[in-house]
């Protein structure tokens, strides 16, 4: 499978080159309007983080108390910055976030009618668990957006620690610390803490699922690989209960396992992952339904999946949200079967009538989901929300996020091109490529890829750590 592994890595390298160009153009376009001073701040910020990472890499004795001190310093500083940003931005729920906030308030009062059939949550079932959990938190701690924002900041701090564990699992303490450092300063993971969004609760479970996949990869023992993949599948299911990214993660993990895992562990690993995932996800769905919390199952939403494909091939909106496409739901009087028929007819006609526009659309969608380093985090938390009136440092945040992301892309590209150890890289790059491939067929928003953007952080850390390194470990 070595040729297949190399092929995936080379495709990833080409993809990185494309989005690098997109990000540079977008940065230049923005800076030409607002000035270069914010770009300079972004460059200084990125160089500072890179310098600190190199200090960790080149330190001779990192272990024991010094390791614990550095790790705690990174986690504490990262969490403190996230809490500060929450208080700085003063974000309030708007758009879909407001709908989830109102649903959570209803749950807190014991009213589950927001989970009836033909409601917002019946159409967008992947928002159910986040809203339900926020309702429980509101009931315990009081109805306040700040409670969820602070919980999100703490969970993001936990993610810094999990990123450290992932790096450590790949190749020891130093890589773990570098990865934690890079993630602590990753602006989307900071800014999204202020947004009433499900990603904040999903991320720890998604990261833990990757940790156990890597553990399974590292083990050539059938039993250990199976156990690790069972745990990964269960954690992935919980993460996907909060955020509907199951198709992307499952496909990446399964293809990755079939490609780079030890031969005798491939099948059992894939089966264990799928078994645990569907048992946990299906069980929670059944509990919601049978206890009357929801009047629908999470596996049977109120709209056909193809409606997201119809939106994804809307050439006028660039594959982004389309009110006209979504309104088919009301045109057919909320009849799912009729909606499926109408969507199918319109999708076939739309594609057949616009074949020459498909390739430009795919580039435009790629630019939407991977072309901006803030992944809409600054936009939703501050740029289009938050503090009224003048918004100091808005463009500084935009440009700094872009420059930092470009630095990570460059590091990833360097590692993809020059590393001789492509197996683990293949597994990681399949996660990015899985989102890219899947979203080319679906509706896109810049926020959608935030759930996998941490992979750039991990590979970027690997690039710094492995500069001049030679290791016999499987990677």
Give dist(CA 442, CA 39) in Å, integer: 33
Tokens 């709908």 -> residue? 99
pLDDT in tens, the chain (475 residues): 788 999 999 999 999 999 999 999 999 999 999 889 999 999 999 999 999 999 999 988 777 788 899 999 999 999 999 999 999 999 999 999 999 999 999 999 999 999 999 999 999 999 999 999 999 999 999 999 999 999 999 999 999 999 999 999 998 899 999 999 999 999 999 999 999 999 999 999 999 999 999 999 998 889 999 999 999 999 999 999 999 999 999 999 999 999 999 999 999 999 999 999 999 999 999 999 999 999 999 999 999 999 999 999 999 999 999 999 999 999 999 999 999 999 999 999 999 999 999 999 999 999 999 999 999 999 999 998 765 667 889 999 999 999 999 999 999 999 999 988 889 999 999 999 999 999 999 999 999 999 999 999 999 999 999 886 644 444 5
Contacts of 421 (CB under 8 A, 6+ apart): 466, 471, 475
* Burial class of 356 by CB neighbour count within 10 A (0 to 12, 13 to 18, 19+): exposed
User: Widest CA span of the chain, in angstroms?
Assistant: 68
Neighbours of 35 (CB within 10 A): 12
Pick from 335, 348, 346, 350: which is nearest to 304 by CA? 335
* Burial class of 392 by CB neighbour count within 10 A (0 to 12, 13 to 18, 19+): exposed
Neighbours of 140 (CB within 10 A): 9
pLDDT at res. 472: 42
DSSP class of residue 94 equals -
């Amino acid at each position: 499978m070595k040729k297949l592994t190399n092929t995936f890595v080379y495709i990833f390298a080409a993809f990185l080159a494309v989005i690098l160009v997109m990000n540079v153009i977008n940065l230049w376009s923005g800076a030409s309007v607002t000035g270069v001073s914010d770009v300079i701040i972004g460059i200084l910020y990125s160089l500072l983080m890179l310098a600190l990472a190199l200090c960790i890499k080149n330190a001779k004795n990192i272990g024991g108390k010094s390791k614990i001190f550095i790790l705690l310093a990174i986690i504490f500083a990262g969490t403190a910055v996230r809490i500060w940003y929450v208080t700085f931005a003063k974000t309030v729920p708007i758009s879909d976030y407001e709908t989830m906030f109102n649903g959570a308030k209803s749950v807190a009062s014991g009213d589950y009618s927001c989970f009836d059939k033909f409601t917002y949550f019946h159409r967008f079932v992947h928002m159910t668990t986040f809203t339900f959990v926020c309702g429980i938190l509101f009931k315990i701690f009081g109805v306040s957006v700040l409670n969820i924002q602070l919980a999100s900041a703490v969970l993001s701090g936990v993610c810094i620690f999990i990123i450290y564990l992932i790096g450590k699992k790949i190749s020891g303490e130093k890589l773990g610390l570098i990865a934690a450092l890079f993630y602590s300063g990753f602006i989307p993971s900071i800014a999204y803490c202020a947004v009433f969004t499900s990603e904040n609760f999903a991320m720890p479970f998604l990261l833990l699922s990757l940790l156990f996949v890597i553990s399974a990869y590292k083990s050539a023992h059938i039993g250990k690989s199976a156990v690790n993949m069972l745990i990964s599948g269960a954690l992935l299911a919980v993460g996907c209960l909060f955020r509907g990214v199951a198709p992307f993660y499952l496909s990446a993990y399964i293809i990755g396992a079939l490609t780079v895992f030890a031969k005798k562990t491939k099948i059992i690993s894939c089966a264990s992952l799928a078994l645990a995932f569907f048992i946990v996800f299906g069980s929670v769905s059944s509990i919601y339904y049978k206890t009357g919390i929801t009047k629908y199952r999470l596996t049977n939403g109120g709209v056909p999946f193809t409606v997201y494909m119809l939106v994804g091939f809307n050439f006028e909106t660039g594959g982004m949200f389309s009110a006209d496409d979504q309104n088919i739901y009301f045109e057919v009087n909320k009849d799912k079967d009729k909606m499926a028929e109408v969507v199918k007819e319109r999708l076939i006609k739309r594609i057949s009538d616009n074949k020459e526009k498909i390739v430009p659309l795919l580039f435009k969608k790629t630019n939407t989901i991977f072309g901006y380093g803030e992944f809409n985090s600054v936009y939703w938390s501050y740029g289009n929300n938050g503090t009224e009136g003048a918004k100091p440092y808005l463009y500084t945040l935009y440009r700094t996020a872009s420059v930092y992301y470009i630095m990570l892309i460059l590091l990833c590209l360097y590692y993809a091109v020059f590393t001789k150890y492509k197996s683990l890289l293949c597994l990681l790059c399949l996660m990015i490529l899985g989102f890219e491939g899947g979203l080319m067929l679906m509706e896109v928003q810049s926020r959608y890829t935030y759930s996998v953007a941490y992979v750039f952080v991990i590979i970027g850390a690997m690039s710094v750590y492995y500069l001049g390194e030679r290791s016999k470990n499987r990677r």
